[in-house]
Amino acid sequence: MERSVNREFKISFEEIHNRLNLSREVVVLFNKAEQALLNAYAPYSKFKVGWSLLLENGSYIIGNNQENASFPNGICSERVALFSAKANHPDLIIKKIAITCSTDDFIINEPVAPCGMCRQVLLEYEEEQGFPIEVWLFTKFKIFKFNQAKDLLPLFFKEGGLKKKN
């Protein structure tokens, strides 16, 4: 009988305590995410999410969550921005993304990460482009920087399992 083997994943990220040390590119990325947050449509949850991404040509794309009374019809800010980027700039590499959130109901101290669906979409884009996407999660109080989207979802789904073997 074979013995089981314990394995573990190590996920690394940097916690940054001072916005003054950020590059101009990242500051603009954060500002765009905060602007997107203002136009989020979240009348039901009151939890707004703003997202921005930076393309290799220097363009920024924003997204925000869009809720609907029929809850499955809403969409997360991450997918709004990613789908917009790929629809309008299909051949450009996504270099960096930034995510922030807010609510009037409580103070959000810790950065919020994308949901599982959004992580999968982000990761598939990263895999397809063959270039890591730097991920920034931030609030007024904390900043987390991940060097690649894969760090958010180490055991991701790959379409290779769907292909018929000849």
Q: Which of 15, 56, 78, 110 is catalytic?
A: 78
Q: What is the DSSP letter of 127?
A: H
Report the C-alpha gap between 69 and 29 in whole angstroms: 30
Active-site residue flag, 78: yes
Is residue 74 within 8 A of residue 45, CB to CB? The reply is: no
**Secondary structure of 63-125 as H, E, C letters:** EECECCCCHHHCECHHHHHHHHHHHHCCCCCEEEEEEEEEECCCCCCCCCCCCHHHHHHHHHH
What is the pLDDT at residue 157?
Answer: 77
- Could you tell me the pLDDT band of residue 10, with boundaries at 50, 70 and 90? confident
107-120 confidence digits (pLDDT tens): 999 999 999 999 99
Is residue 85 within 8 A of residue 126, CB to CB? The reply is: no
55-101 confidence digits (pLDDT tens): 999 999 999 999 999 988 899 999 999 999 999 999 999 999 999 99
Instruction: Map out the domains of the chain with their CATH numbers.
Output: 20-155 (3.40.140.10)
Look at residue 33 and tell me whether its pLDDT is greater than 80: yes
- Could you tell me the pLDDT band of residue 166, with boundaries at 50, 70 and 90? low
Look at residue 130 and tell me whether its pLDDT is greater than 70: yes
What is the pLDDT at residue 7?
Answer: 85
